[in-house]
Amino acid sequence: MVALESGETNSPIASHYIDARGEEITIAPHIVKHITTLMASPSSSGLTDTVVLYPSHDLITPTTGFMPTSWKFIPETGEPLEGLWQSGQKSWRLPANTPFGYHQLRLENGIQRYSMMIICAPQRCFIPPQLQHSAVWGSCIQLYTLRSQTNWGIGDFDDLKEWITRCAQQGASFVGLNPIHALYPAAPEQASPYSPSSREWLNIIYIAVPKVLAFQTSKWAQKWFHQHKIQQQLESLRNMNWVDYSQVTKFKLIGLHLAFREFRRHPDFKAERLKFAEFLNKGGTSLYRQGTFDALHRFLRNRFPNAQGWSQWSSAYHSPEAPEVVAFQHRHPRLIQFYCWLQWLAATQFAECAKRAIRCQMPIGLYRDVAVGVTGHGAQTWSERHYYCMDAEIGAPPDILGPLGQNWKLPPLDPQKLKQFHFQPFIEMIRANMKGCGALRLDHVMGLLRLWWLPKGEDARHGTYVHYPIDTMLAILALESQRHRCMIIGEDLGTVPQAIVTKLKTAGIFSYKVLYFEKDREHNFMQPEHYPNQSIATISTHDLPTLKGFFAHLDLKLGKQLGLYPDATVLSELHDERTLDCQKLITTIKQTFNLTRLPESQLNHFVHAFLAKTQSALLGLQPEDWLGMTQPVNIPGTETAYPNWRRKLTLNIDEIFSHTDVLELLALLEGIRSHPQPNDE
C-alpha cells in the first residue's frame, strides 16, 4: 500500500489559477502573503500525521531521517500489536486482515516518539446495487416549502413522512432535501439553509409539534393549542404564500416548552427520559454546547437585540469555557436541557422519516444536502473555533456574470488544523449528515480540492485559492460512505478543475448535471445519451429559475427589478442568450422525440421526459416544475431585497398528488425510467 500524505501540494496557497474564460490569473504577491499569515503553521512533527492506505498497498515508509526502534499499532477495534523495528528495515507493513477504519501507528526510538493516524479505506464510495442495472428518479424539495392541512406554517418532518409515502406510491426512489442543519431559534429570520449555525445538529423548526407525545398528553399544551385565537393564527400562517419564520418559531417554542414541562414531570415518560439521557450521553460535549449556545443566544437577545450571534455578544461570552458562560450554565440548566431535548425530538422525527422511506421500499430513501460551511457567529464556530480561520471568509472569484466575485461570509476550516486534529471535524460532520440517509449531496464539492479565501470583510477580488488535502478527504468519504451505505453526490457546477473531475469519478462520487448547463462546444444542448451514467440529472436548482421562469426570462426580469444588472448591455446580452437557449432546447427535444412541432402546453411534460431519457442513473426533479411555478426560492446576490428561502409551493401535499397533470407527469417519468436507454459508456 502506498502511503499518501495528508497534504498533496508543497504550498496550499495558490499563486495563480485558471478563470472561467480559461485564462491564467496571477494572484498579487501581497494577497498570497496576507492569506499565508491567516493560516495555522504546518505541523513540525517531521512525520506525516495522517496516511491513507488502500487495499493491496500496505507499506508505510517514514519520510524523515528519524529511525524508529519499535512500533505499536492500535487498531480502531481490537487489541494493539507491537514489535521491534529491525536493523536495516526501511518500511512497516500493515498487519494482515486489517479492516477498513481509523487506526494509529506509534513509532519510537527511545528518545523521540511519533504518532500517526492510518486511514485504511476502500477505493470507492458506496453505490446502491440497484443503480448498476437501473435508472431511478426522485423529488428534490425545499422542506420548508411544503404545505399541509396540519403544519404550523412551514413544512415539517410529519409533512416529509407524508411526502415520502406519496412519492413512493408514484415510483420514486428517493426524496432529496435542502440542508436541514441547525439555524438560530433566537434569530429565526436568519433562514438561509446554506449559512447554518452548525452542520452537526438539526434545524428544530422542522419538528412537527402536534406529533410530540408530551404535547398530546399535556393538558396545558392542549388548552393553549385549542384556543380559537391560536387556531386562527396557525391557520393564517398555513395560508401564507411565504414562511413567516418569526411567528412560526414563536408558536413552536411555546408549544414545545409546554410539552417539555410535561415530559420532565409526568411519570409516564420515564422510559422516554431514559432514551433522552442516552441521547445526551451520546451527543456529549458537542450537543451540550449546541444547547448552551441556543439557550445563551435567547438570553442575550434581550441585551443585544441586533446581535446576529456570538461574535457580537459581550466578549465575556465569546468562549464556551468562559466564566460567564459557565455561570450561565449553572443558572439555567433547564433551558439548556430544553434545547438539547429539541435536538432529540428533531433527530427522532427525522429517523422516523428514514424508516418510512425503508417501509416504502425506496431504494435510496432520504438524500441530504450539506452546506459548504458554517457562519462565523453560530454554535459551531463558537464551540470549535480552533478548527476555523476566523479572519478569513470563503466565496467565489470574479467571473463573467459576477465581475466582483462572491463573498459567502463563511469562515473556512483551516487545512493545517484538519491535519493537526486528524480530520476529526470533517469526519464528525460527514457522520452526522449520513444518519438515516441513502445519499449525501456535498454543496460546492470543489471545496474538497480548494476554496476561494479572502481576508474577512474584503471583497472577493482580493482572494486566492487555498488547497485542501483532497486524497485524504476522499478516503474518509469513501470509508464513511461504505459504512453508512450512503452514496455521495458532488455539486460540481461552474468552473471545475480537471484534477478534481477525475478524482471524483474514480472515487465513485456522482456528478451533478443541470439541464440548463449541459451543452456541447457549439452551445447546443446535450442529447440524453451523452449524460454520464455516474450522475444525477436535474432541470434546475434552488439558485436557478424554475422551468417556466427560465422560458419566460422571469429571473432576468426580477434581477433587473432588484438592481442586479446595472449594466443594461450585459442584461440585454443575457436576454439574447436566453432566447437562443430556449430555441435550442426546444430544437433538441423535438429531435429526441421526432416531433415536427412542440405545443407550449406540452413543453413541461416533454422537458421532463427528455431528462428522464438521459443516461444519468439518478433523476431529481422539483415539485415547483411539476406545478408550473415561476417564483424562485432564492436569488443569489440578494440578502433583503428578495424574500429568499421563504416561498412555499402553490398547492398542499394532498392537492399535488390528486392533481391530474402532476400524476400524468409522474407516471410518464416512471415509465421512461423503468425502461432506461442502453448505456453506451
pLDDT in tens, 473-497: 999 999 999 999 999 999 998 777 8
- Mean pLDDT of the region 307-329: 94
Query: What is the pLDDT at residue 459?
Result: 85
DSSP alpha helix (H) spans, 332-414:
333-359, 379-383
Residue-level pLDDT at 48 = 61
pLDDT at 615 over 70: yes
Q: How confident is the model over 305-327, as a mean pLDDT? A: 92
Q: What torsion, rounded to 10 degrees, do the Cα atoms 477, 479, 484, 486 define?
A: 40
Classify residue 34 by burial, with Cβ atoms within 10 Å: 0-12, 13-18, 19+: buried
| Cβ atoms within 10 Å, residue 382 | 27
Identify the band that residue 455 occupies on the pLDDT scale cut at 50, 70 and 90: very high
Collect all residues with Cβ–Cβ distance below 8 Å to 525 and sequence separation of at least 6.
515, 518, 519, 584, 585, 588
Phi first, then psi, for residue 525 (nearest 5°) are -70, 140
- Alpha-carbon gap, residue 573 to 579, rounded angstroms: 10
Among 20-24, 317-321, 621-625, name the one with the lowest average pLDDT: 20-24
In the predicted model, is pLDDT for residue 609 greater than 50?
Answer: yes
DSSP string, 202-264: E-GGG--GGG-HHHHH-HHHHHHHT-HHHHHHHHHHHH-SB--HHHHHHHHHHHHHHHHHHHH
Question: Of 538, 526, 531, 417, which is closest to residue 466 (Cα–Cα)?
Answer: 417
Listed in sequence order, the DSSP H helices in 518-658 are: 547-551, 554-561, 568-593, 603-612, 623-626, 653-656
* CB-CB contact of 228 with 138 (8 Å): no
**Residue 677 in contact with residue 613, Cβ under 8 Å?**
yes
Convert the pLDDT of each residue in 349-401 to its tens digit.
999 999 999 999 999 999 999 999 999 999 999 999 999 999 999 998 887 65
How confident is the prediction for the chain on average, in pLDDT? Answer: 92
At residue 680 the predicted structure's pLDDT band, cuts being 50, 70 and 90, is very low
Tell me the pLDDT tens digit for each residue of 53-75: 887 666 777 656 678 899 999 99
For residue 453, which of 440, 467, 441 has the smallest C-alpha distance? 467
Length of the chain: 681
Would you place residue 50 in the very low, low, confident or very high pLDDT band (cuts 50, 70, 90)? confident
Q: Counting beta carbons within 10 angstroms of the beta carbon of residue 575, is it exposed (0 to 12), middle (13 to 18) or buried (19 or more)? A: middle
Q: Is 187 helix (H, G, I), strand (E, B) or coil?
A: coil
Residue 284 near residue 267 (C-beta atoms within 8 A): no
| 151 pLDDT higher than 70 | yes
Task: Give the residue with greater pLDDT, 136 vs 21.
Answer: 136
Q: Which pLDDT band holds residue 6 (cuts at 50, 70, 90)?
A: very low
- Give yes or no for a contact between 438 and 367, defined as CB atoms under 8 angstroms apart: yes
The mean per-residue pLDDT over the stretch 672-676 comes to 83
Q: How far apart are CA 560 and CA 653, in angstroms?
A: 33
pLDDT at 45 over 80: no
Count CA atoms within 13 Å of residue 80 on its CB side.
9
Dist CA 488 CA 433 (whole Å)? 11
Q: How does residue 255 score in pLDDT terms, banded at 50, 70 and 90?
A: very high
Whether 2 shows a pLDDT value over 50: the answer reads no
> Which of 90-104, 208-222, 639-653 is least confident?
90-104
Looking at residue 566, its pLDDT comes to: 76
Residues whose CB falls within 8 Å of the CB of residue 594, separated by 6 or more in sequence, listed in order: none
By three-state DSSP, how is residue 421 classified?
coil
pLDDT band at 3 (very low <50, low <70, confident <90, very high): very low
- For the stretch 415-433, pLDDT in tens is 999 999 999 999 999 999 9
**CA-to-CA distance for 398 and 654, rounded, in angstroms?**
45
d(CA 277, CA 532): 47
| Cell of residue 505, nine digits | 469519478
User: Dihedrals φ, ψ of 86, to 5°?
Assistant: -70, 150
